[in-house]
Amino acid sequence: MEGEELKQQELQVKKYIRKSRYTKKKERKSKLSQEVQAHKQKISEIRHLEKDFICAICLQYICCSTSTKCGHAFCETCLTEYELLFDKCLVCDASIKNQEIRSCFLLDNLIQEFIERNHPSELQNFNKRKAECIQQRQKKQIQDWQIGTKIDIRDSNNIWCVGIISRIQPNKNNQAQNVVVCYVNNLNIQEELPCASSRLAPFGLYTSRKDIPHYNNCQNSSELVILLPTISDNVPQKLFIQ
């Protein structure tokens, strides 16, 4: 009997070992598959993030991000140049007329961290582009706010016009906060804008450019003519706005 009992016990132990090995193997397998799944998820997330981090205009990582009214993000430099010629969002076709530039610092940080972690070799180019954007931004700032000074002002049709500062509203610290600007081509129209508005720029920055649309000096104010830039020497294409 004793021998029989011992045999039974041995069998139980063997069964137990085999079972525990099997469970361990199973656990290991499921852990591995979990890891594989997590990794796959990571790859898809990276791909997904990468897609969202790319500017649709320059097809590079969004640098100094700005968002449009419809919520799409582009590089500040790209969007500033793009809206000189177009008034619809490149991604969704929504109107981007008469909008202010809105920076998104959270997106900037996410993209910077993403490049540092995943594409460190891209960092140098990214930082160079960032420095260029900051330089452009400074060029666009009006330093001297004085009544009678000419400035560039972008009207509600996204066309840069020459304006004259007719009134300055200071803040508590006696710094210019808001300005009233008269349009030189139509002195009856004036607009009040915050000094920080992206629709204002130093005189000549945009109005002296030949590669962007301008109003033609026309007598009939109900029919505005915009001269669009042309690549060839052909007569500029004319666009009539009623």
d(CA 106, CA 113) in angstroms, rounded, equals 11
Largest CA distance in the chain: 121
123: tokens are: 């960092």
Q: Is 111 in the site for Zn ion (CB under 5 A)?
A: no
Q: Using the rule CB under 5 A, which residue among 70, 180, 184, 227 binds Zn ion?
A: 70
Task: State the minimum distance, in angstroms, from the CB of residue 125 to Zn ion.
Answer: 12
Q: Is 151 in the site for Zn ion (CB under 5 A)?
A: no
Task: State the minimum distance, in angstroms, from the CB of residue 95 to Zn ion.
Answer: 10
What is the residue-wise DSSP string for 114-161? HHHHH-GGGHHHHHHHHHHHHHHHHHTS-----TT-EEEEE-TTS-EE
224: tokens are: 């505005």
Task: State the minimum distance, in angstroms, from the CB of residue 133 to Zn ion.
Answer: 10
Q: For the chain, how are helix, strand and coil distributed in percent, rounded to 5?
A: 40, 25, 35
Residue with Cβ nearer Zn ion (70 or 180): 70
Q: Residues 89-108: x/- map of binding to Zn ion (CB under 5 A)? A: x-xx-x--------------
Q: Is 75 in the site for Zn ion (CB under 5 A)?
A: yes
Q: Is 55 in the site for Zn ion (CB under 5 A)?
A: yes
Task: State the minimum distance, in angstroms, from the CB of residue 59 to Zn ion.
Answer: 7
Residue with Cβ nearer Zn ion (67 or 166): 67
Q: Is 227 in the site for Zn ion (CB under 5 A)?
A: no
Task: State the minimum distance, in angstroms, from the CB of residue 89 to Zn ion.
Answer: 3
Nearest CA to 23 out of 33, 34, 11, 31 is that of 31
- Long-range pairs of 186-189 with CB within 8 A, sequence gap ≥ 24: 186/221
d(CA 83, CA 62) in angstroms, rounded, equals 16
Q: Residues 170-189: x/- map of binding to Zn ion (CB under 5 A)? A: --------------------
- Contact residues for Zn ion, defined by CB under 5 A: 55, 57-58, 70, 72, 75, 78, 89, 91-92, 94
